[in-house]
Structure 1
Amino acid sequence: MLTLTGMSGGYGQANVVRGVTAQVAGGEVVALLGRNGTGKTTLLRTIFGLADRQGGEIVFDGHAVPPGRPDLLARWGAALMPENRGVFPSLTVAENVRLATRKGFVPAIDPRDLFPLLAERAGQPAGTLSGGQKQQLGVARAILAGRRMVVIDELTQGLQPSVVTEVLAGLAAVAAAGVAVIVVDQHAGLMLGWCHRAVVMEAGRVVLDAPVGPETRRQLDELLMVR
């Protein structure tokens, strides 16, 4: 579904991501892990054309992705929920949901079943929601728009633990329908319980890319000091 070959990126002359080569298959849930400042968010932004690609190639669903074209990934069915949640503050909850909905696409799980607030606060401007409520709306929008790939940056930010579990189960159902799912979060131990594969970054480079298993968990303990 997604193939990165020698990809580097950053902002202007600042090089943040260096020579990343990785693949994500349809139906796979991948945890992108690493300490703060290791380049995880910049990697996502470079993939989606929101940071400067300084080298390498990106292929998504058989299409070569040119630099600086976030519109193409959206058109081809990839959706990113960024750190700022990607909601339109002046629009209502219902309007945000409607804009994300893709004609003819029915996700494996209805976000309204995950997040009752989508109905309860349908007429409320998104900018007046709490941080956790905006997070729910952002995740819902990504699920609705991501018919081929869903990418969530800082999944658990602002969410109650019970909601996090429901969201992870929902993303697992999305992946089971053949959608590629990438999740970035600081809670590595929690992510490993739901993901098929872990990709760990240090200083802008991938230092571990392996299926989740006992040996991978041991390596992650050493790299991230997971408790």
Structure 2
Amino acid sequence: MLTLNGLSGGYGQANVVHGVDISVAAGEVVALLGRNGTGKTTLLRTVFGLADRQGGEVVFDGRTVPPGRPDLLARWGASLMPEDRGVFPSLTVTENLRLATRKGFVPAADPRELFPLLTERAGQPAGTLSGGQKQQLGVARSILAGRRMVVIDELTQGLQPSLVSGALAALAAVAAGGAAVIVVDQHAGLMLDWCHRAIVMEAGRVVLDAPTGPETRQRLDELLMVR
């Protein structure tokens, strides 16, 4: 579904991501992990055309994505929930969800069932929601828009623990429905419990790409150890 060939990116002259080669298949849930400042967010922003692509290639669903064209990935069925949740503050919860909904597409998981608050606060402007409530709305928007791929930066940020397992189960259902799913989060152990594969970044490079399992967990502990 998504293939990155030697992808490098950053902001202006600042190079943050260096020659990344990874692929994510349809039906796969991949955890993108690493300590703060290792380039995870910049990698995603480069993929989606929100940071400067400085080299390499992005291929989505068999089509090469030119640099600086976030509209194409959106048109082709990919969604990104950025760190700031990506909601429209002046629009209501319902209006935010309506904008994300793709005509004729019914996601494998219903975000309104996942997050009842979205129905309870349907007419409330998104900008007046709490951080955790905006997180629910952002995740829901990503599921509604991600017909072929859902990417979420910092999934558990602000979410109540009681909602986290439901969100992960929903993303697993989305993947089982044929989409690729990429999740960034600081809770590495939790991600290993739910994801098929872990990709770990350090200093803008991929240092581990392996199926989740005991050996990967041990290696991950070594890589994420505070130095």
Q: Normalising TM by the smaller chain, what interval?
A: over 0.9
Q: For residue 124 of structure 2, what is the aligned residue in structure 1? A: 124
Provide the C-alpha distance between the structure 2 equivalents of 1:215 and 1:157, rounded to a whole number of angstroms. Answer: 27
Look up the SS of the partner of 2:72 in the other structure.
helix
Question: Could you tell me how far 1:35 is from its partner in structure 2?
Answer: 0.2
Look up the SS of the partner of 1:94 in the other structure.
helix
Deviations 1:98-136 (A, max 9, x none): 000000100001100000011100000000000000000
Q: For residue 142 of structure 2, what is the aligned residue in structure 1? A: 142
Which aligned segments of 4 or more residues in structure 1 are displaced greater than 2 angstroms? none
Provide the C-alpha distance between the structure 1 equivalents of 2:186 and 2:65, rounded to a whole number of angstroms. Answer: 28
Q: For residue 6 of structure 1, what is the aligned residue in structure 2? A: 6
Question: Could you tell me how far 1:218 is from its partner in structure 2?
Answer: 1.1
Provide the C-alpha distance between the structure 2 equivalents of 1:84 and 1:218, rounded to a whole number of angstroms. Answer: 31
Q: For residue 61 of structure 1, what is the aligned residue in structure 2? A: 61
Where structure 1 has 5 or more consecutive residues not aligned to the other structure, the ranges are: none
Provide the C-alpha distance between the structure 1 equivalents of 2:176 and 2:225, rounded to a whole number of angstroms. Answer: 30
Give the counterpart letter for 1:151 in structure 2: V
Provide the C-alpha distance between the structure 1 equivalents of 2:162 and 2:115, rounded to a whole number of angstroms. Answer: 12
Q: For residue 98 of structure 2, what is the aligned residue in structure 1? A: 98
Provide the C-alpha distance between the structure 2 equivalents of 1:116 and 1:221, rounded to a whole number of angstroms. Answer: 36
Question: Could you tell me how far 1:221 is from its partner in structure 2?
Answer: 1.1
Deviations 1:3-31 (A, max 9, x none): 00000000000000000000000000000
Identity %: 86
Deviations 1:63-120 (A, max 9, x none): 1000000000000000000000000000000000000000010000110000001110
Give the counterpart letter for 1:16 in structure 2: V
Q: For residue 187 of structure 2, what is the aligned residue in structure 1? A: 187
Give the counterpart letter for 2:191 in structure 1: M
| Cα-Cα RMSD | 0.8
Question: Could you tell me how far 1:225 is from its partner in structure 2?
Answer: 3.3
Provide the C-alpha distance between the structure 1 equivalents of 2:100 and 2:32, rounded to a whole number of angstroms. Answer: 24
Provide the C-alpha distance between the structure 2 equivalents of 1:122 and 1:98, rounded to a whole number of angstroms. Answer: 11
Trace 1:1-227 onto structure 2 (pairs within 5 A). 1-225=1-225
Q: Which moved more, 1:216-225 or 1:82-91?
A: 216-225
Deviations 1:35-59 (A, max 9, x none): 0000000000000000000000000
